Amino acid sequence: MSVSCLTTTHPLQSLTVKLHRTNQDKDILMYPDISPASEHQRWSVRKDAENVTLDLKDVRLSDDGLYDCQVYKDQDCLHVIRLNLKVKECKTLDSVHPTPGSVLLPCSEHPLQHRTEQVTWKVIIDHQLTDISQYRPPSHPSNSTKKLLKPLYERARQLANGSLLIRDAEYTDELWYRCRVNEKTCYEVKLLMKVATQRSCKQVHHLNINCVQGDNMSVSCLTTTHPLQSLTVKLHRTNQDKDILMYPDISPASEHQRWSVRKDAGNVTLDLKNIRLSDDGLYDCQVYKDQDCLNVIRFHIKVKGENASF
């Protein structure tokens, strides 16, 4: 952290800079003071483009407090800056807006494929941490017409890279969330529900796919330059009104399903392995970018036995 205490043409060597911690009534730094003991402190003074600047390295929670930076020329006080240093335990990530049907809360500043450390997720309620398994949202009135959703802990699933996937996100999920990686590293992220309505696809493309029991099958849902990680892919079985697959969802339980999603030469592709007679039916493959539906492919899988003909 750096803060400018004064802009002046006076050389730094002619000034006295005093940093006083007011809430502890303690002097933290006095310049000039170039004793070995002072050189190894985390606070330091420099002059940069006429700014007398205080630097603090390796900021700690214990640094939180009120400070006065006083600059003197001989016996004259040139300037005083009072700073209130607020130190957060965790780094705040950008707020997350849910995509249709699910939301992915990151536990890193940059995308990760896998994280070896054990990650824990909690919600922040009134500045208190509550384990997701213990969180209960405010109940609706008994005459409420709102659909009763499963509790958050049943809809939330931690992925291999530490991110938290929440299915069927609703307004009661609009909270601050904290993930902790280790004693020193944690992140906080706010889930904000969008008021804007989801834009449905204007055109649905239809396909008929003939398959033989035991074979594998692939179908392209969209050709796009968007990276797969930025998209939501939903496979819905219309004749059973059931969601079969939702990407991103790379939990171990999902990895062993027969359906999977990949991007190949610009094509967002669905793969189905080891086709069964029970797979026969009508499906919608829906691809979203944020709230926008990019494409829907409706395909009818017709499955025949190994010795049967179409």
Three-state SS string over the chain comes to CEEEEEECCCCHHHEEEEEEECCCCEEEEEECCCCHHHHCCCEEEEEECCEEEEEECCCCHHHCEEEEEEEEECCEEEEEEEEEECCCCCEECCCECCECCEEEECCCCCCCCCCCCCCEEEEEECCEEEEHHHCCCCCCCCCCCCCCCCCHHHHEEECCCCCEEEECCCHHHCCEEEEECCCCCEEEEEECCCCCCCECCCCEEEEEEEEECCCCEEEEEEECCCCHHHCEEEEEECCCCEEEEEECCCCHHHHCCCEEEEEECCEEEEEECCCCHHHCEEEEEEEEECCEEEEEEEEEEEEECCCCCC
Q: Are 91-137+149-190 and 204-304 the same fold in CATH?
A: yes
In the predicted structure, residue 252 carries a pLDDT above the cut 60: no
Topology at the third CATH level for domain 91-137+149-190: Immunoglobulin-like (2.60.40)
- What class, spelled out in words, does domain 2-85 have in CATH? mainly beta
Where do the structural domains in the chain lie, given as residue ranges?
A: 2-85, 91-137+149-190, 204-304
Residue 102's pLDDT band, with cuts at 50, 70 and 90, is: confident
In the predicted structure, residue 285 carries a pLDDT above the cut 90: yes
The per-residue pLDDT for 147 is 55
Pick the CATH number of 204-304 from 1.10.357.140, 2.70.70.10, 2.60.40.10, 1.10.10.60: 2.60.40.10
- pLDDT tens for 1-59 read 899 999 999 999 999 999 999 988 888 888 887 655 554 578 989 998 899 999 998 88
pTM above 0.75, yes or no: no
The per-residue pLDDT for 242 is 81
